[in-house]
Chains A and B, each alone.
Chain A
Amino acid sequence: MDTDDEFMSNPSSEEEDMMPDDSDNDMSGDDDFDFDDEPDPEDIDIQQDFGSKKKAVYDIDYKVYRPQDIQEQQDDLIREVNMILNISKEEAAILLRHFRWNKERLIEEIMDKRSQTLETAGLSENHTQVPRLQVIPCFACDICCEDEEGLESFALKCGHRYCVNCYRQYLTQKICEDGEAARIQCPSDDCNLIIDARSLDLLVTQDLTDRYRRLLNRTYVEDRDSLKWCPAPDCENVVECDIKKKDLNRIVPTVSCLCSERFCFGCPNEDHQPAPCDLVKKWLKKCADDSETANWISANTKECPKCNSTIEKNGGCNHMTCRKCKHEFCWMCMGLWSEHGTSWYNCNRFEEKSGTDARDAQAKSRVSLERYLHYYNRYANHEQSARLDKEMFLKTEKKMVSLQKESGMSWIEVQYLSSASQALQTCRRTLMWTYAFAFYLARNNLTEIFEDNQKDLEMAVESLSEMFEKPVQDLADAKVDIMDKTSYCNKRRVILLNDTAQNLAEGKWTFNVEFTNPTPLGAVGSSSRR
């Protein structure tokens, strides 16, 4: 980076709200809803008018649900369909799953062609037979061929009757081994009746029904495009966000779970602001690819001008003789050695035509490699530091305890260390992705502003990081300083992300790779899911 002019991007306007955004998701104060801790419960539509309700341009609207909320959502929908259509709750659930929880389409289709819809969803209109365990005289199970007296058997409304042992084994295998729940059919050939939750309760034990319910919850979340599991290990929360695929080139939809895990709603990756999903995908692929090995080869080796064998020069003079084809050439200019005339061992023929092409290709390769490595090293460095910061966080917790003991500070008074540690991690993550983002940026004024913001954030982060390594006894004295630096880091991060998000939303960035520049924000309305 060679631009040294200090760029201050209007700091006064950013003063108001500088909370690290994972500490507080509460975006509005609606309280007429069951769930207490979610951000903005009233509306899941993406707010298109940035700036009015938002604290930052890059913020998107989303809600976090806990497992019981997910259960309630399903129960509510099931209850609704159950009342509107006058069918049992179990049947309503099967119908809803069949229609991927699209209640409107479900009701429409049922009104339109009731029996056909019920049948394709795996339901029967037969109301006479209530499925229960029965002992039927002279019954022989068609699966195991057992026919002993008193054998308990079960049949769905279709009447295909099998013994409970076979039913149990069938269900256990489907649920435990195949991970199937929503689409378990009657064991009979050519019968597509779906086994409902109540029948399952009759047949299997508690642990299996628990697993069955978990699987059903999983399909519920997977069936709805606006829901996504929090990827944190051991976290069972679900995030709802109405972001569309086509929005992803102008928004980086980062969400933050109640467990404080930050992740991208648009792709399977962690929080990667400010880089858009598409560039992240390209970057990760590039970093994983062997193409960079090839880059190294072309930067560190040359090809024999005649037979194209790859040669690495490991010392010696410039007079090369290809081991394979015995071609003699000059390592410096790649030209024929014989053209060097009497100036042996001293190539002064830089302008020689026979060597220029090879040298050009060589130079290009070096430039692109060095450019990549510039960004990659910084990216990797912040990634590593973020990882170390995570370890540091655990140490911080210990520090906080000892600080409480040594300085007599209360638990709440030492929380500044936790905030500082969190800020460090979040900022490093952002920095890391700024380098992936910058790799794809074409050089222009915007890019320079971006790099200045990047530099400011980097300096702020390093200076906070330094504070953090102080011995425990000094931490108490540095409290004000650490708090200032934490707040400054968060502030710089918001400035950088705001600037990037704004330009992204307006389609102002110029990338050096193919990236479909978005239409301006206002032009695209929100569309409904299929």
Chain B
Amino acid sequence: MGTPGNKRLVRELADCHQNPPVGLTISVPDESNLYKWHVIVHGPPNTVYAGGNFGIVVNLPRDYPFRAPVVTFATRIYHPNVTNDNLGNICLSILKAENWKPAIKLVSVLEAVRNLLIEPQPDDPLEARIADEYKNDRKEFEKNARSYVAQYAKGPVKWENAEPTPATAASK
């Protein structure tokens, strides 16, 4: 068995097309390479991110599903758990090497990312300042987050930003 991930990936992708998960648009930019997914997370309604389209690049390691996928935001987002830079690294506990289980489906990961937009985790922050603001000055946080949405997350997603992201970049 060369790449056990491949059959699994075909299945996962087919499942996603058959039962499209809520609020997510999934595509594979290069049909010959199932190890890279482009996902658009539509800002969940009733959140500051509503109306925004957030590009997420999923890079799957060669030994997927035994190693966790590397998930990064291609679109800038103002969020306590996403780095406020071009890398867009995400802090998500199931993606950490010691917590990853091979039975976890990619769609659960993506749903977890979407959940992060509904419910940020300021106690486990990547951006301490934003987390602080989220906890202590919600108005200011919402204002900033909305202005980011207006500035970066309207219109078609630009995937190029995420290209230089090194595959090894660990999301802390």
Interchain CB contact (< 8 A) of B8 among A144, A169, A187, A191 = A144
Stretch of B70-78, B96-104, B138-146 on the interface side: B96-104
- The DSSP consensus for interface residues of chain B is loop
Q: Shortest CB–CB separation between residue A192 and chain B, in angstroms?
A: 10
How far apart are the CA atoms of A187 and B10 in the complex, in Å?
20
Interface flag for B22 (CB, 8 Å): no
Interface flag for B135 (CB, 8 Å): no
Within B1-42, the residues touching A (CB, 8 Å) are 1, 4-5, 7-8, 10-11
Contact mask for chain A residues 452-476; partner B; CB cutoff 8 A; 1 contact, 0 none: 0000000000000000000000000
Instruction: Let me know if A189 and B103 touch, CB within 8 A.
Output: yes
Known: A143-B65, A189-B108. 20 other contacts (CB 8 A): A143-B4, A143-B8, A144-B1, A145-B7, A146-B4, A146-B7, A160-B103, A165-B4, A166-B4, A166-B102, A173-B66, A173-B67, A187-B101, A187-B102, A187-B103, A188-B101, A188-B103, A189-B101, A189-B103, A191-B101
Which range contains the number of B residues in contact with the other chain? 10 to 19
Interface flag for A207 (CB, 8 Å): no
Interface flag for A178 (CB, 8 Å): yes
Q: With CB as the reference atom, state the residue of chain A lying closest to B1.
A: A165
Contact mask for chain A residues 126-170; partner B; CB cutoff 8 A; 1 contact, 0 none: 000000000000000011111000000000000010100110011
Interface flag for A185 (CB, 8 Å): yes
Q: With CB as the reference atom, state the residue of chain A lying closest to B8.
A: A145
Which range contains the number of A residues in contact with the other chain? 10 to 19
Instruction: Let me know if B102 and A170 touch, CB within 8 A.
Output: yes
Query: Given that A170-B66, A173-B66 are known contacts, is A143 also in contact with B7, CB under 8 Å in the complex?
Result: no
Interface flag for B63 (CB, 8 Å): yes
How far apart are the CA atoms of A191 and B65 in the complex, in Å?
17
How far apart are the CA atoms of A166 and B11 in the complex, in Å?
16
B residues near A (Cβ < 8 Å) are 1, 4-5, 7-8, 10-11, 63, 65-67, 97-98, 101-105, 108
Contacts of B67 in A (CB 8 A): 173
Query: Given that A165-B4, A170-B66, A173-B63 are known contacts, is A143 also in contact with B11, CB under 8 Å in the complex?
Result: no
Instruction: Let me know if A169 and B103 touch, CB within 8 A.
Output: no
Within A242-290, the residues touching B (CB, 8 Å) are none
Instruction: Let me know if A169 and B7 touch, CB within 8 A.
Output: no
Contacts of B66 in A (CB 8 A): 169-170, 173
Contacts of B102 in A (CB 8 A): 143, 166, 170, 187
Q: Shortest CB–CB separation between residue A139 and chain B, in angstroms?
A: 15
Interchain CB contact (< 8 A) of B97 among A160, A162, A178, A189 = A178
Contacts of A166 in B (CB 8 A): 4, 102
**6 contacts across the A-B interface (CB closer than 8 A):** A143-B103, A144-B1, A145-B7, A165-B1, A173-B67, A189-B105
